[in-house]
Amino acid sequence: MHQTISRRTLLRGAAGAAAAAFAMRFEPLLAAPEARWFKIGACDWNLRHRANPASFEVAKEMGLDGVQISMGVLGGANTTDPEVRRRYREATARTGLEIASLAIGEMNQIPLKSDPQAAEWLAQSIGVCKDLGLGIVMPACFGKGDLDMRNTTEIDHLVGVLKDVSPAAEKAGVVIGLENYLSASDNLRLIDRVGSPAMSVYYDVGNSTDKGYDILAEIRELGGKGVLCQLHAKDGRHRLGEGRIDFRKVREALDDVDYSGWIVIEAAAPNGPLVDYPHYARFLRGIFPP
C-alpha cells in the first residue's frame, strides 16, 4: 500500500519540479475515463530501422502515431551521442510523430542482471530520456538476460543496480519499465524490493500469453498497483486479431485500471511490416481510439 501511494503521489507532482514534469506526462494514467487517450506506435526493430531515425518516415507511411526507439546497437548508432539525438528531434519534427519510449534491447545479450556494462547503459539512459523529453525507458530482459527469481545471486545483483539508478530516474521524472517473462506477482516482488516509485512494468501481452499467464488478470493486478507503464501488442506468430488474444477484452481490463497511453506494436508480420502494420494500426484504433 505504501509503495502504491508513493508512486501515485509522485505521479501527481508532489515531489518537486522534476516530479511535476513527470506527473504532467503521466497524469492521464490516473485521469477520469473521459480524459483517457491511446496512441498506437511500433518498435523500431520491427520497422527494420533499429536505432535509426528513418523509422519515423516508415511509421508515418503506416499511419502510426510514433515509435519506440532503441537506445543503440553495439558498434553502431547510440542515443548517448548528442548528434544522434539531434537527428531524432529532426525526425519527429519532420513527421509530426512522437517517441513512445526508449528501449535497451542490447541487454538481451549483455544482461542487466549480471554485467556492469548494462548497468552503465541504464544509468546513461536516464539522461537520454531527460534530454529527449521521454518518460519511460524499457530494459529488456530476455535471452541471456532472462530472469529467474530462484537465482538469488542474479536477482540480488539486479535489485542493487535498480536501487542505484532509481534515484536519478525519480529526479529526472523517468519510469524504468521492466520487460521480462516473469509473472505479474514476481514483477511486483521485484519492484517492492527496489522500493522506488520510478519502477514499473512494461507489459507484453504476447510474451505473457506464451508463458500461460492470465493476461487480463495480470493487467488488472499491475494496473491496480499503479505499475503498468506501457504495453507491447503482439500475439506470437499470429497477426493481431487473428490469434489467441482478444484485444477487446484487453481494452476492458485496461479500462478497469484507467490506463491511458501507448499501445506499441511488436507483432509478427508474415506479409511484411509495410503490409501488416498499417492493418494492425487500423485494427487497434478500432479498439483503442485516440
Distance (Å, rounded) from C-alpha 139 to C-alpha 142? Answer: 10
* Residue 91, SS3 per DSSP: helix
Q: Give me the torsion for CA of 128, 166, 156, 185, rounded to 10°.
A: -100
Superfamily covering domain 38-285: Divalent-metal-dependent TIM barrel enzymes (3.20.20.150)
Q: What is the pLDDT of residue 95?
A: 98
> What is the grid cell recorded at 86?
539531434
> What is the grid cell recorded at 37?
487517450
Q: In sequence order, which ranges of the chain are alpha helices (DSSP H)?
A: 2-11, 17-26, 55-62, 82-95, 116-132, 152-172, 184-194, 205-210, 215-224, 247-256, 273-285
> What is the grid cell recorded at 122?
541504464
CA angle 24, 26, 27 (to 5 degrees): 65
> What is the grid cell recorded at 250?
484487453
Q: What is the pLDDT of residue 36?
A: 87
Q: What is the pLDDT of residue 3?
A: 46
Q: How many CA atoms lie within 13 A of 104 on its CB side?
A: 28
Q: What is the pLDDT of residue 22?
A: 38
Burial-class residue 265 by CB neighbours within 10 Å (0-12, 13-18, 19+). buried
Around Cβ 213, how many Cβ atoms within 10 Å?
17
For the chain, the structural domain boundaries read: 38-285
Sign of CA dihedral 266, 270, 275, 279: negative
Distance (Å, rounded) from C-alpha 272 to C-alpha 270? Answer: 6
Answer whether 39's CB lies under 8 Å from 262's CB: yes
Enumerate the β-bridge partners of residue 214: none
Burial-class residue 200 by CB neighbours within 10 Å (0-12, 13-18, 19+). buried
Q: What is the pLDDT of residue 19?
A: 35
> What is the grid cell recorded at 40?
498506437
Distance (Å, rounded) from C-alpha 123 to C-alpha 136? Answer: 13
> What is the grid cell recorded at 264?
506499441
Please report where in the chains the cell 507532482 appears, as a residue. Answer: 13
Q: Which of 231, 160, 228 is nearest to 190 (CA)?
A: 160
Q: What is the pLDDT of residue 27?
A: 40
Sign of CA dihedral 271, 137, 92, 83: negative
> What is the grid cell recorded at 290?
485516440
Please state the pTM of the whole predicted model.
Answer: 0.89
Q: What is the full per-residue pLDDT of the chain (290 aa) written as tens digits?
A: 344 435 554 433 222 333 333 343 344 344 444 578 999 999 999 999 999 999 999 999 999 999 999 999 999 999 999 999 999 999 999 999 999 999 999 999 999 999 999 999 999 999 999 999 999 999 999 999 999 999 999 999 999 999 999 999 999 999 999 999 999 999 999 999 999 999 999 999 999 999 999 999 999 999 999 999 999 999 999 999 999 999 999 999 999 999 999 999 999 999 999 999 999 999 999 999 98
> What is the grid cell recorded at 275?
503490409
> What is the grid cell recorded at 79?
542515443
